[in-house]
Amino acid sequence: MKSPGAARAAAQQRLALFDLDGTLLEGDTDQLWCAFLIDEGVLERAAFEAANADVSARYAAGEIEPAEFCAFYAATLAGRAAEQWAPLRERFVAASVAPRIGAAARALVKHRHSAGDELVLTTATSRFLAEPIAALLGIGHVVASELEVDAAGAFTGRNQGVLNMRVGKVERIGAWLATRGESIGRLDEAVFYSDSINDLPLLAAVGRAIVVDPDERLADAAAVRGWPTLRLAGRTVPDES
């Protein structure tokens, strides 16, 4: 736990929270991972391709339960340990993720870092996939869905703990703050960027909510609440005015 002095110093920084998929990334990490594994011959196309499209579409529409969404993608990692997956993950991030992180998204993260904010990536994607993407973006903290491992260290294909999706994002960020000796009241001064109606609970919990290239339902919610809209897609420099 931080010393009182360190906790006070951290509290002087604003938290800048970022959703990943559809916000900083043009696409969905889990959907892209599943498609990558199909192309690599790791997953059977007949068994996974249509299901991947269905789960991804229902997530985008806010119509799938967190347990079903996270379980489907956790299953793609079953049977191997993190170190066994690592070479494929490295290729995946380089080939499928990095090209989909635009200059405007990178500039936004850099802007918040330059402002002295403490940066956090908060995503329903598993920590295993999210951590190298956060590192690529220069984001120091990751709050993500967690994967269960067996006694040998292999992923079981199941999740563990509270899923970092919908209201779970609020619960998990609160738990993360608690491990640092900080209260969830720190969200009162936080800014959160997201594109998705799935993130409405956390958007409503922070002091400043900014919707990024929002889906239709989130755009409507933002209009009612007076939340600003940021357009990153196709831009080289974000405009937060």
CATH class of the domain comprising 4-230: alpha beta
pLDDT, residue 233, reads: 81
pLDDT, residue 12, reads: 66
User: Chain centroid to CA 184: how far?
Assistant: 19
Neighbours of 90 (CB within 10 A): 11
Print pLDDT tens along the chain (241 aa).
444 444 444 446 899 999 999 999 999 999 999 999 999 999 999 999 999 999 999 999 999 999 999 999 999 999 999 999 999 999 999 999 999 999 999 999 999 999 999 999 999 999 999 999 999 999 999 999 999 999 999 999 999 999 999 999 999 999 999 999 999 999 999 999 999 999 999 999 999 999 999 999 999 999 999 999 999 987 776 766 5
Question: d(Cα 184, Cα 239) in Å, to the nearest integer?
Answer: 29
pLDDT, residue 178, reads: 98
The two three-digit tokens of residue 137, written as one number: 């973006």
> Bridge partners of 142?
121
Q: Taking the model in full, what pTM does it have?
A: 0.92
Judge contact between 216 and 63, C-beta under 8 A: no
Question: d(Cα 95, Cα 235) in Å, to the nearest integer?
Answer: 21
pLDDT, residue 238, reads: 74
Question: d(Cα 201, Cα 205) in Å, to the nearest integer?
Answer: 6
Active site residue 117: no
Active site residue 239: no
In the chain, the largest separation of any two C-alpha atoms, in whole Å, equals 57
pLDDT, residue 235, reads: 72
Question: d(Cα 45, Cα 42) in Å, to the nearest integer?
Answer: 9
The two three-digit tokens of residue 214, written as one number: 């929002």
Dihedrals phi, psi of 79, to nearest 5 degrees:
95, -10
Percentages helix, strand, coil for the chain, rounded to the nearest 5?
A: 50, 20, 30
pLDDT, residue 33, reads: 98
The two three-digit tokens of residue 138, written as one number: 């220069």
Q: Give me the catalytic one of 19, 28, 195, 213.
A: 19
Judge contact between 146 and 127, C-beta under 8 A: yes
pLDDT, residue 73, reads: 98
Domain-by-domain residue ranges, the chain? 4-230
pLDDT, residue 4, reads: 46
Residues contacting 11, CB < 8 A, separation 6+: 182, 186
pLDDT, residue 71, reads: 97
